[in-house]
Structure 1
Amino acid sequence: MKQSLYIAIALFVFPLFSSCCDDSDQNYIIIDSIEVINYDEGYFEDDLNEGFPELFAIVRTAGVTYFTSEISYDTNTPAAIDFEGLLFIGEEMNEEVEIMIFDDDEATTEDLIGTATFIPGDLLLRHNRRETIQGGFLEIDLLLKWECDS
C-alpha cells in the first residue's frame, strides 16, 4: 500500500517538474526594451532651446533598417525605449546589429546621439537578463526576455 502511494505521488509530481522550462535550447533573442544609460550631452547641433532630448532608436542589420522605436520622453537617464519584443532568430543571430540613438527634433533634422553594435548570438551564450553595449560615449542596456520569463 505504501509503495502504491509513493508511485502515485511520483506520477503526480514528475509532470510538474518536467514541464518546467529549459531555455538552454533557445535559439533566438528577444529584446523587450533598452535603457540609454549614458551619452555625450554635447552632441547638440541644433537649437538648445528645444529642451531635453526626445530619444528614439533605429535598429539596423546589414545596413538595412530592421526596427524603428517610438519616441521616449524620459528626461533623465536611464531613458527607457520600448523595443516591443524585438526578435532575432536564425541567421540574424550571427549578424552584427547596429542600434542608433537619435534625438527627435521638430525644428531641425534628427540628431544622431550615438551608435552601438552587438551580435545577438554572443548574448545567447551569456544568457543574462541585462546586457550593456557601448559605442563611443553611448552606453545602452539591452533588457532581454527569455523563453521561461513570465
Structure 2
Amino acid sequence: MSIPSAAQAAQFLLGLPRPSPLDRMLALAQTTPLDAVAVAGPQAAEAMVDLWRRGFERVEAARRATCSSADQRCDLLLVMGCPDSASADALTGAVLGMLARGGRIVIDAGLMLDRGERTDLCDRLRKRGLILTDSAALLPEVVASRPL
C-alpha cells in the first residue's frame, strides 16, 4: 500500500474529513496562488469560486483555446467533472493551447470508476504529446505535463 493510500485509509478509519478533489488536484500539481490557472469542464464554475476563495487571483474559465496569442498561457489547467475518457480527451484537446510549455494539467477522473477508462484517457493524453507517469491511471486524478 502506498503512502497516500495508507493516509487515505487512516483518515477514513479515524473519521477525519477527506480532502476534496480540488484539494488533491492542487496538491498533485504543486501549485500556489501565484500560478495562472485555467479551469474547464462541467464542474468548472464551482472550482473557480473555490480557487478565488483560496486566494488564487489568476483564474479563468477555459472553453476553447482560440489562438496562442489571444489567450493567456496558464501554468495549470484543471479539467473537472468529465464522466468518461472520450469527453475528457475532447475537452483537453479544445483547451490544451492555453497551457504553457512546462505547464501541468490535472484531470478529475473520479467519475471514471473503471481503471480501463482512466488507462484509455492516459493513452489519449500521451498521443497529444503530454508526459504522464506510468502509474497515472491508478489515481482518481490524472496528472500530465506539457513538454518544454
Bucket of the pairwise TM-score, normalised by the shorter protein = under 0.3
* Greater fraction strand: 1
Normalised by the size of structure 2, how large is the TM-score? 0.26
Structure with greater contact order relative to length (CA < 8 Å, sep ≥ 6): 1
* Greater fraction helix: 2
